[in-house]
Amino acid sequence: MTHDFVHNNLPSRVVFAVGARTRLPEEIDRLGLHRLIVVCTPAQADLAADLTSPLGGKIAELHPHATMHVPVAVAAKAIARSREIDADGCIAIGGGSAIGLAKAIARDTGLPIVALPTTYAGSEMTTVWGLTDAARKTTGRDQRVLPVTVIYDPQLTVTLPPALSITSGMNALAHSAESLYAPDRSPITSLIAAESVRALADALPRLVTDPHDMGARADALYGAWLAGSALGATTMSLHHKLCHILGGTFDLPHAETHTAVLPHVLAVNLPAAPQARTALESALRAADPADHLFHLANNLGAEMSLKALGMPEDGLRTVIDQALAAPYANPTPVREAELDHLLGNAFVGAPPT
């Protein structure tokens, strides 16, 4: 290995334990916060109210309006409410939708975020934000959106159904896979990413067998934390670009789209990224990582067809055009032929080639 790299550690505090949610009041006290806006999706309003009830009068407002891909209008309302109630902090409870909305608030107001993830999205460990407007998703990086504290409690993921657990876990695994061939990877991020892949791939089948297996839930959440850390420290490539286009343009479900696309992108990229391929072969104990991940997800019940997820066939041209119009780092050149081939396979749910 040639030791020539730059590595940045992102400044966030992680509290990880079964039952860690009960430590929320002491973490809020530690930060000196007194007027909090709590963001979540409508479906998790009761959970958010229950988790934050020990904070009493420190909760200025429960704002259960987070939605997928963070539409600009939804973000604007949340930002306005945080100003109107004079919030001094934001608690995000949920997956990527809730944490994404909290990031929109923080990016505009500078409010510190405390995150309690209930999925394996990994967004809570990154400076990446995303907003969707007029069927286009825009993303960027800003230190202000990185949560100052993340409380990981495996018990908060138990209500995540097995099907969503699989796709959420595959979404996290995609972060690690792409970080292994990122242009700004370091030995540390590569170690983190490989361990993440190992933990997630081992945990997901156990979750399907027993959704209440707390050891499996803890292992999956551990893997997701590492995946988010790898995502936060590196530049993502073709896979994430395509998923942002698919989600923002066609409103496809986030984790399910990552699951369907990842094996096909790896089939294109890994021949040009031998170190990443070797790391994935070892972590997955498989000779063909792309094929292995396809069949792992498929055998666990994940939908592998973009068409079945709601993608219109006449939209493939739009995805290709958008991907070609915005250059980005990738281990191999991104050309129309490769995009047409991998998206065609992903559209019908065929194995990667």
For 312-330, write each residue's pLDDT tens digit: 999 999 999 999 998 788 9
Burial class (CB in 10 A: 0-12, 13-18, 19+), 286: middle
| Full-model pTM | 0.92
Distance of alpha carbon 173 from the chain centroid: 9
Nearest to 257 by CA among 278, 277, 241: 241
pLDDT of residue 67: 94
For 13-33, write each residue's pLDDT tens digit: 999 999 999 999 999 999 999
**What is the separation, in whole angstroms, between the first and last Cα of the chain?**
30
Nearest to 99 by CA among 171, 162, 20, 198: 171
Tokens found for residue 105: 């608030």
pLDDT of residue 24: 98
Nearest to 172 by CA among 196, 149, 151: 196
Is 305 a residue whose pLDDT tops 80?
A: yes
Distance of alpha carbon 240 from the chain centroid: 10
**CATH 3.40.50.1970 placement within the chain:** 13-157
Fold topology of 162-348: Dehydroquinate synthase-like, alpha domain (1.20.1090)
Fold topology of 13-157: Rossmann fold (3.40.50)
Tokens found for residue 152: 């990981």
Phi, psi for residue 247 in degrees, rounded to 5: -70, -45
For 148-197, write each residue's pLDDT tens digit: 999 999 999 998 999 999 999 999 999 999 999 999 999 999 999 999 99
Q: Given pLDDT bands bounded at 50, 70 and 90, which one contains residue 1?
A: very low
Is 347 a residue whose pLDDT tops 90?
A: yes
Is 2 a residue whose pLDDT tops 70?
A: no
Q: Given pLDDT bands bounded at 50, 70 and 90, which one contains residue 7?
A: low
**Helix, strand counts (H, E) of the chain:** 13, 8
Local structure of 253: helix, strand or coil: coil
Is 12 a residue whose pLDDT tops 70?
A: yes
Is 299 a residue whose pLDDT tops 90?
A: yes
**CATH 1.20.1090.10 placement within the chain:** 162-348
Angle in degrees, CA 338, 120, 103, rounded to 5: 90
pLDDT of residue 300: 97
Nearest to 161 by CA among 127, 207, 199, 130: 207
Local structure of 234: helix, strand or coil: coil
Q: Given pLDDT bands bounded at 50, 70 and 90, which one contains residue 62?
A: very high
Tokens found for residue 273: 């990224």
Of 68-77, 168-177, 221-230, 325-334, the one with minimum mean pLDDT is 325-334
The overall average pLDDT reported for the chain is 94
E-strand stretches of the chain: 13-16, 36-39, 59-63, 89-94, 113-117, 128-133, 136-141, 149-152
Sequence-distant (≥ 6) Cβ neighbours of residue 300 within 8 angstroms? 162, 166, 204, 205, 208
Q: What is the mean pLDDT of residues 275-294?
A: 98
Q: What is the mean pLDDT of residues 79-94?
A: 98
pLDDT of residue 138: 86
**Please, are residues 201 and 284 in contact by the beta-carbon 8 Å criterion?**
yes
Percent of all residues in the chain with a pLDDT value above 70, rounded to a whole number: 99
Pairing of strands 89-94, 36-39: parallel
For residue 15, what is the DSSP state? Answer: E
> Amino acid identity of 175?
H
Q: How far apart are CA 331 and CA 215, in angstroms?
A: 36
Tokens 């460990």 — which residue? 125
Q: What is the mean pLDDT of residues 87-115?
A: 97
Is 40 a residue whose pLDDT tops 50?
A: yes
Residues written for the chain? 353
pLDDT of residue 326: 84
